[in-house]
Amino acid sequence: MGTLTPGGNSNNNPGTPAKDPLAGKRFKTQGFWRTALQQRYLYLMSLPFIIWAFIFSYLPLWGWTMAFQDFKPAKGFFEQKWVGFEHFVELFSDDRFYLALRNTLAMSVMGLVVGFVIPIIFAILLNELRGMMFKRFVQTVSYLPHFVSWVVVAGLVTKMLSTQGGAINDLLVGLHIINEPIQFMAKGEWFWYIVTASDVWKEMGWNTIIYLAAITGIDPELYEASRVDGASRYRQMWHITLPGIRTTISVLFIMQIGHLMQIGFEKQMLLGNNLVLEYSQVLELYALQYGLQMGRFSYGTAISIFNSVVSVILLFTVNGIFKKVSKESIM
Amino acid sequence: MAAPKAFNATRGDKVFDVVNIILMSLVLIVTLYPFLNVLAISLNESNDTVRGGITIIPRAFTFENYQQIFQYEGLIRGLWNSILRTVIGTVFGLISASMLAYTLSRPDFQARKFTSTFLVVTMYVSGGMIPVYILFRDLGLLGSFWVYILPGIVSAFNVIVIRSFMDGLPYALQESAKLDGANDLTIFFRIILPLCKPVLATIALFLAVGQWNSWFDTYLYNGSHPELTTLQFELMKVLQSTQQGGSGQMVNANDMASKMTQISPESIKMAITIVVTVPILIVYPFLQRYFVSGMTLGAVKS
């Protein structure tokens, strides 16, 4: 029956095979559209947002062509003058670029090392707390800064480090460690440390969530067995807790390396000032100031492209290494 | 359980416990002190604050600083815009993320693989600041309120979190509804969404906090449109305009401090900081149990 009337009212059951292979194919495409029709509400729920994502996430990639043009905002795409790699040549011969690159790498590596180790230690120590109420309270408080904007955090940090009634200076002077207040925010060589410390202050608690979840997954019998064997708390942490969250640690570490170049610019922009520019200028701020705000769109785009390309290379390299080592992929 | 613990509580263990509690208390102090300090200063008389020495208790209690800052028009407008963008952005973000997540959780959905890949790519690839700026200009989003809402509607991370929650729901629920003749929309709204309340609360929190805390979009796209200012941007302007060593990046320092001569910039800054932070402090404890599970879900998946 199916072979006779392939178009109309067949029951569209792939189980009742048509002998003619062509007819079967016809059935298949017909089946596709039929299923599509059946799933029309699913398409209705996803298509608008796919188009949305296309506009706001994919379309900007087209803008990368700007880096190879002498882009003038008033002109149409076909009227632009193409200049090849001119902007990249200019970029790579600009001292400020290398300064920005140095700052980006310095702060991201410091953030990676410190910002990665401290949450692990914090999570393990939290896990060792005996009093449940106290533990809860510490957790609740430590997650809090994550939800506060960088604007507020920058304000708090500036206030704490201020020379007029700043808590840090008051404390250091009070303990006679220093004789007079230090102008932390005006000293370039302090800037990287201030950014890293602020970042740790803001995200330390939040970053423990995943580790704490991983620790919950460790078999409690391991602890009991070791206790019977007389293992101290340090030994338990070192030989059971840490190895128990090893996979989580390595996956997160690799993901962090993949995002090494994407450290953002909010904190640098908000905490920085003209006095520390030499240490606070990161690549994205450089693109903002020497590209966008000076109307040099092409030059700024070249900076962004450099940043993205390095990020993607990093991500794939790291993922490749991880695959080799653990036979798993994180992407 | 208590017996073996007591049996094994060696002196080393006790020392460890004490040291640990001291360390954790230090973490508490370091985290909370800045907030309490700022709160105390914001509630202290401006002239008295200048003398210094305020820690966590106001010396000369007053609401004067708050009365002053709320007379500044920009702050009221910023507050209004911040509330508006938080509400609208959260609603739109929830709708898009939950709908996309539902289609991805349906194993029979034809475009599932495509949608999934399409979304994940957006997490790793970004056009960069200037191409996005040019696109927004072409779309007419510069100098418009919608620049706060539209770009952030679809977020792959939120979709992944909701989707992994939905994957945990029994599929039989949907199938029986389907046999009863319910269509996909009905299943989504009547069956799936009500079950997803915990994860939706998590995502709502993430979206709302993200919206409330944004300032850079105001700075970059609407910096010259005072009617579109946001609370975070106002705070940022005040903080930068009076920072040590002058402002590095501020272009149009619309200096609130210069308009309010009665109180010192210090008090203004602290009072606005509190106004900006308090809404988060209020909603945060209620949602804590949700976001922890939400984070864990997202981490497992991605």
- CB-based contact, A273 to chain B, within 8 Å: yes
For residue B8, pLDDT beyond 70: no
- CB-based contact, A249 to chain B, within 8 Å: no
CA distance B143 to chain A (A): 16
For residue B221, pLDDT beyond 90: yes
**Token reading at A234:** 């340090």
Rounded Cα–Cα distance for residues B134 and A292 (Å): 10
Which H or E run includes B186? helix B184-186
Beta bridge partners of A82: A69
Rounded mean pLDDT, B208-227:
92
Instruction: Please state, rounded to an integer, the average pLDDT across all residues of chain B.
Output: 84
Q: Chain B residues with CB inside 8 Å of A141's CB?
A: 27-28, 31-32
Q: Residue A317 has what pLDDT? A: 85
CA distance B277 to chain A (A): 7
- Contact between chains at B130 and A164 (C-beta distance less than 8 A): no
Q: What angle do CA A70, A75, A78 make, to 5 degrees?
A: 80
For residue B1, pLDDT beyond 70: no
- CB-based contact, B107 to chain A, within 8 Å: no
Domains of chain A (ranges; CATH) run 21-85 (no CATH), 89-326 (1.10.3720.10)
Q: Residue B246 has what pLDDT? A: 41
Residue A149 · residue A264 · CB < 8 Å: no
Q: Residue B300 has what pLDDT? A: 56
In the predicted model, residues of chain A with pLDDT beneath 50 are: 1-19, 331
Helix residue spans in A162-240 (DSSP H)? 167-174, 188-216, 220-228, 233-236
Positive/negative CA dihedral, A167, A168, A172, A175: positive
DSSP-assigned states of every residue in A258-300: HTTT---SHHHHHH--GGGHHHH--HHHHHIIIIITTT-HHHH
Closest to A287 (Cβ–Cβ): which among B28, B106, B129? B129
Q: What is the ipTM of this complex?
A: 0.86
Residue B34 · residue B49 · CB < 8 Å: no
Q: Chain A residues with CB inside 8 Å of B244's CB?
A: 158, 162-163, 183, 185-186, 273, 275
pLDDT tens digits for range B241-300: 755 434 433 433 345 555 555 677 788 889 999 999 998 888 877 777 777 776 666 655
Closest to B4 (Cβ–Cβ): which among A57, A227, A276? A227
**In B128-260, which ranges are E strands?**
none
Q: Chain A residues with CB inside 8 Å of B221's CB?
A: none
pLDDT tens digits for range A90-144: 899 999 999 999 999 999 999 989 988 999 999 999 998 888 889 989 998 998 9
Rounded mean pLDDT, B35-61:
86
Q: Residue A328 has what pLDDT? A: 57
Q: Residue A327 has what pLDDT? A: 62
Residue A17 · residue A24 · CB < 8 Å: yes
Q: Residue B248 has what pLDDT? A: 38
- CB-based contact, B66 to chain A, within 8 Å: no
Rounded Cα–Cα distance for residues B142 and A158 (Å): 31
The helix, strand and coil proportions of chain A, stated in percent and rounded to the nearest 5, come to 75, 0, 25
**Token reading at A220:** 């409690």
The pLDDT-based confidence of B2 (bands split at 50, 70, 90) is very low
Q: Chain B residues with CB inside 8 Å of A119's CB?
A: none
Round to the nearest angstrom and report the end-to-end CA distance of chain A.
Answer: 48
Q: Which region holds residue A295: left if phi is over 0, alpha if psi is between -120 and 50, else beta?
A: left
Q: Residue A311 has what pLDDT? A: 83
pLDDT tens digits for range B148-189: 999 989 999 899 889 988 988 888 888 888 888 888 899 999
Would you call A221 exposed, middle or buried from its count of C-beta atoms within 10 A (0-12, 13-18, 19+)?
exposed
Residue B145 · residue B87 · CB < 8 Å: no
Q: Residue B260 has what pLDDT? A: 55
Residue A301 · residue A64 · CB < 8 Å: yes
Q: Chain A residues with CB inside 8 Å of B100's CB?
A: 45-46, 49
* Residues in CB range of A262: below 8 A, 6 or more apart: A307, A311
- CB-based contact, A316 to chain B, within 8 Å: no
- State the residue for tokens 């390595």: A250
Closest to A159 (Cβ–Cβ): which among B34, B133, B284? B34
Q: Residue A329 has what pLDDT? A: 55
For residue B77, pLDDT beyond 60: yes
Half-sphere exposure of B100 (CA within 13 A, CB side): 31
- One of 1.10.420.10, 1.10.3720.10, 3.40.50.300, 3.40.50.720 is the CATH number of B67-301, namely 1.10.3720.10
- Contact between chains at A41 and B183 (C-beta distance less than 8 A): yes
| Residue closest to B256 by CA, chosen among B266, A45, B246, A255 | B266
| Residue closest to B105 by CA, chosen among B156, B160, B154, B176 | B160
Q: Residue A6 has what pLDDT? A: 37
DSSP-assigned states of every residue in B58-109: -SSB-SHHHHHHTTSHHHHHHHHHHHHHHHHHHHHHHHHHHHHHHHHH-TT-
For chain B positions 70-99, those within 8 Å of chain A (CB to CB) are 96, 99
The pLDDT-based confidence of B126 (bands split at 50, 70, 90) is confident
Q: Chain A residues with CB inside 8 Å of B119's CB?
A: 53
How do the domains of chain B map onto residue ranges? 2-62, 67-301
- Contact between chains at A50 and B151 (C-beta distance less than 8 A): no
Round to the nearest angstrom and report the end-to-end CA distance of chain B.
Answer: 37
Q: What angle do CA B77, B82, B84 make, to 5 degrees?
A: 95
